Amino acid sequence: MFEAEGFVCVRTEGDHMIFTKAGVIRPVVVPKYAAVPVFVIKNNLRTPAISRDRYFELLGK
pLDDT tens digits, 44-53: 999 999 999 9
Res. 19: pLDDT tops 90: yes
User: Alpha-carbon distance 53 to 61, whole Å?
Assistant: 13
Q: pTM of the predicted model, to two decimals?
A: 0.85
CA dist 12 and 58 (Å) reads: 22
Q: How confident is the model at residue 60 (pLDDT cuts 50, 70, 90)?
A: confident
Position 61 confidence tier, pLDDT thresholds 50, 70, 90: confident
Write the DSSP assignment of 1-56 as a string of letters: -TTTTT-EEEEEETTEEEEE-TT-SSPEEEE--SS--HHHHHHHHHTTT--HHHHH
Torsion angles phi and psi, residue 55, rounded to 5: -60, -50
